[in-house]
């Protein structure tokens, strides 16, 4: 219940709306490092490297899954694989701006090992950005490459054909789930090739 009366002090607006945890934000800012902020919407993954300033956060580098089509990625913008590629792209862009280390900012999300937030972190680490983390939180390469999807499809293909509708995006994009690994690695190489000359 909100406090009432002339002397009442309301919590900060973003706290009342449930969009900012100020205690967590304070701990992140006290590290003195830029923040690697990963946000996931219903359709996309976004990663930004932010530096806190008195006037507000300054965005040093950012990447959005809507950009991945330029690198050959033709599937969902919110998948585990897309999150990895977004983190890779953001990491390279941050290094290009002189940022070499950061702390992970996942907002109000509960940390779950192997999740899309940590897939984005794995991409940033692959780019060379230094971010404190526990290795057990990162998703395995086999999951990024969609091996679990391929195994599932083989298991249900004969007996449960109607359930294959959930993979219609793969079919529509002309990418059988078994070829996800090749497309992921091709997009990864395209991103690395773009920054190879700039970063040496």
Kindly report whether the global pTM for this prediction surpasses the value 0.95. no
CATH number at residue 192: 3.30.420.100
Burial of 88 (0-12, 13-18, 19+ CB in 10 A): buried
Angle, vertex CA 194, rays to CA 46 and CA 176, nearest 5? 65
Domains: count for the chain: 1
Q: Which domain holds residue 100?
A: 20-199
Residue 142 lies in a domain: yes
Residue 7 lies in a domain: no
Residue 7: the pLDDT is: 67
Contact 121, 38 (CB under 8 A): yes
Contact 153, 53 (CB under 8 A): no
Residues of the chain with pLDDT under 50: none
Residue 75 phi, psi dihedral angles, 5° rounding: -110, -165
Residue 3 lies in a domain: no
Residue 51: the pLDDT is: 93
Residue 4 lies in a domain: no
Residue 15 lies in a domain: no
Residue 148: the pLDDT is: 81
Residue 146: the pLDDT is: 83
Residue 131 lies in a domain: yes
Report pLDDT digits (tens) over 30-45: 778 899 999 999 999 9
Residue 150: the pLDDT is: 75
Residue 14 lies in a domain: no
d(CA 139, CA 87): 13
Residue 2 lies in a domain: no
């Amino acid at each position: 219940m909100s406090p009432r009366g002339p002397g009442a002090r309301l919590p900060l607006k973003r706290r009342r709306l449930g969009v900012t945890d100020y205690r967590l934000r304070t701990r992140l800012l006290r590290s003195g490092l830029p923040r690697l902020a990963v946000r996931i919407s219903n359709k996309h993954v976004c990663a930004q490297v932010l530096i806190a300033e008195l006037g507000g956060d300054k965005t040093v580098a950012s990447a959005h899954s809507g950009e991945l089509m330029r690198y050959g990625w033709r599937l969902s913008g919110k998948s585990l694989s897309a999150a990895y590629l977004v983190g890779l792209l953001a990491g390279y862009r941050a290094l290009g701006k002189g940022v070499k280390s950061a702390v992970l900012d996942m907002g109000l999300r509960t940390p779950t090992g192997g999740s899309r937030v940590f897939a984005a972190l794995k991409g940033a680490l692959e780019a060379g950005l230094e971010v404190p983390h526990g290795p057990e939180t990162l998703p395995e390469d086999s999951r990024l490459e969609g091996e679990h999807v391929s195994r599932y499809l083989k298991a249900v293909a004969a007996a449960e054909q109607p359930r294959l509708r959930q993979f219609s995006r793969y079919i529509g994009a002309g990418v059988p789930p078994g070829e996800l690994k090749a497309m992921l690695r091709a997009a990864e190489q395209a991103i690395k090739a773009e920054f190879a000359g700039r970063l040496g």
